[in-house]
Amino acid sequence: MQTKPNLGFWQIWNMCFGFFGIQFGFALQNGNVSRIFQTLGADMEQIPILWIAAPLTGLLVQPIIGHFSDKTWTKLGRRRPFFLYGALATTAALVIMPNSPTLWIAAGMLWILDAAINVTMEPFRAFVGDNLNKQQRPTGFAMQSFFIGVGAVVASALPWIMTNWFGVANTAAEGMIPDSVVYSFYAGGVVLFLAVGWTIISSKEYSPEQLAAFDAAEQAEHPCAPMATPAQDYWRSGAAAVVIGVAAFAAVAFWQLDKQLYLLGALIAAFGLLQWAASWFKQQQNRNMLVQLTDDLFTMPKTMRQLAVVQFFSWFPLFAMWIYTTAAVTSYHYGTTDTTSVAYNNGADWVGVLFAVYNGFAAIAALLIPLLVKATSTQKAHCINLLFGALGLFSFFLIKDPALLWLPMIAIGIAWASILSLPYALLSNCLPAHKMGVYMGMFNIFIVLPQLLAAAILGSLVGYLFQGQAIYALAIGGVSYVIAALYVLRIKTETVKG
C-alpha cells in the first residue's frame, strides 16, 4: 500500500483553474445583484430577504451534490460531471439574469444562478481531497483561494471597465439595467464555462478502487479514532426544533416584529420535520439519502463542529458586506440614494472596483498565508487574518473620502483569503475519504446559516436601530469578525476514520 503521490505545480494549477471561472459568476452576483434589485424597484428593507435565495439554495444543493458526487463514477469521472453540468447551467443563468424585466423575475433568477454555481463549486472542494495527499492539501486550497481572488478582481471591476475603457453606458432609463452590467454578465458566462472546461479536460481523477487503496494506506500510517455511532432516531431532537420554530413564529406575531423573522422560525421547524422524517424512514429500514445525510450531520467530527462556530461568525460579515456595501458607499460617501443619478451609479461602479481590490489582495495573501501558518499555527494565523477583516469593516466609518476606501479592502482581502483556505485545511484531514464530498457540502451549512440570519435580521436592525443607514451593517460585521477570531483559538485538530 502507498499514499497518494505528490502532484506537480501545473497539475495542481490545472485542477484548481476552474475556480477562476466560478468566482467570475460569484463576483458578478455579489457586486451587482443588489444594484439590479434596486434598479428594478426594491426598497432597502426588501434587499436582504430578496438575497435569501443565495444561501438557501446553497443550504439545499451542496450537501445533496456532495452526497451524489461521492457515489458517482462515469467515463468522465467522479466530480467532473458535476463541473460540466453546473457550468452549462450557470452560463445560461448569467446571460438571463441582467435581462430580468421585473424585480420578482430577477429574484427567481438569483435562485437559479446560485443553485447552478453551487452544483459546479461544491465538488471542487472534494476534488482537492480526492487528488492530493494530506501534505499537499493546504497548497491545493491555497491555490483555489488564489484563483478565487484573481477571478474576482476582473469580474468585480467589469462594469467599471466596460464604462471607463470601452465607453459602455453605466446609466439607463428608470427600471432598466445599464448596458455595462448586462455585457459584464455575458462576458462572465463565457469565462466561467471556458475555465471550468479547462479543468475538466486537463485533470484526471483516481478510480474508486485507487481511492480506497490510498485511504487504507493513510489510515495504516496514521491510525484514526472511529466516528460516532448515529442515534437510533431523531424524534426528540426533531420535537425540540419544531417547538422552537413554532415559538419563534408566535413571538414574531405577538410582538409584531419584522415579517422577515418568520423565516428563522420556518427554517428551525423545517429542520425538526426533516429529523422526524429521517427517524420514520430508519424505523422502516429504509436508508435513503435523507437518513444518510441526517446521520452524517449528527456524527460529524469534533473539529468540524468547532469550525462551524468560526464559519458562522466569519461569513455573517461577508454577507453583510455583499448586501450593504453599495448602499453604504453611495449614501454615506456619495450622499445619494437615487438609483438614476450619476452619483449613485458612479458610487456603485466604485464598489465594484473596491470588491476587485479586496479580491486582488486576497490572491496575494493566499500565497503568503502558508508562511504565516509555518511561523505560528493554522489557528493563530486564521485569528490574525480575521482581525484584519474586522479592522477593514470598521474603517468604513473613519474614512470619508471614497477614493481612499481601497485601503480597508486590503485588510478585508487578507481575511477573505484566510476564510477560503485555512478552515478547509483544518477540516480536510479529519474527514474519511469516502465521505469527503458530503462533508465538504455539509460544511456549507455553517456558511449558509449566518447568511440566512443576516437576510432575516439585518433589514430590521438597520431599519429600526440605525434609521436605515446601511453603513452600520458593516460595523456589525466587524464585531462578528472579532468573535470568530477569538473562537478559532479554541479549535483542536483531530483525524477521524469513517
pLDDT tens, residue by residue, 275-318: 999 989 988 888 888 888 888 888 888 888 999 999 999 999 99
- With both helix axes pointing from N to C terminus, report the angle between 378-398 and 406-419 in degrees, rounded to the nearest 10: 150
Q: Is the pLDDT of residue 222 over 90?
A: no
Give the model's pLDDT for residue 380. Answer: 94
At 373 the pLDDT is: 85
Q: What is the pLDDT of residue 496?
A: 41
Contact of 461 with 366, CB cutoff 8 Å: no
Comparison of pLDDT for 207 and 86, the residue scoring more = 86
**Per-residue pLDDT band at 15 (split at 50, 70, 90):** very high
Query: Strands 496-497, 225-226: parallel, antiparallel or unpaired by DSSP?
Result: parallel
How would residue 488 be classed by pLDDT, with cut points 50, 70 and 90? Answer: very high
Q: Tell me, what's the pLDDT at 35?
A: 84
- pLDDT at 209 > cutoff 60: yes
SS3 category, 454:
helix
pLDDT exceeds 50 at position 498: no
- Interval 108-118: pLDDT, tens: 898 899 889 98
Distance (Å, rounded) from C-alpha 394 to C-alpha 388? 10
Residue 235 CB-density burial (10 A; 0-12 exposed, 13-18 middle, 19+ buried): middle
Q: How confident is residue 322, by pLDDT bands cut at 50, 70 and 90?
A: confident
Q: Is 43 helix (H, G, I), strand (E, B) or coil?
A: coil
- 439 or 352: whose pLDDT is higher? 439
Is 175 in contact with 47 (CB distance < 8 Å)? no
Neighbouring CB atoms inside 10 A of 393's CB total 26
Report pLDDT for 495.
45
Q: How many helices (H) and strands (E) does the chain have?
A: 20, 2
Average pLDDT, stretch 471-490?
Answer: 94
- For helices 471-487 and 302-328, angle between their N-to-C axes, nearest 10 degrees: 160
Mean pLDDT, residues 366-371: 86
Distance CA 411, CA 444 (A): 24
**Chain-wide mean pLDDT for the chain?**
86
User: How many alpha carbons lie under 13 Å from residue 282 in its C-beta half-sphere?
Assistant: 18
pTM over 0.85, yes/no: no
Report the percent of the chain where pLDDT is more than 70. Answer: 92
Q: pLDDT confidence of 207, banded at 50, 70, 90?
A: confident
Gap between the Cα atoms of 353 and 360, Å rounded: 10
354 close to 325: Cβ distance less than 8 angstroms: yes
Contacts of 304 (CB under 8 A, 6+ apart): 427, 430, 431, 439, 443
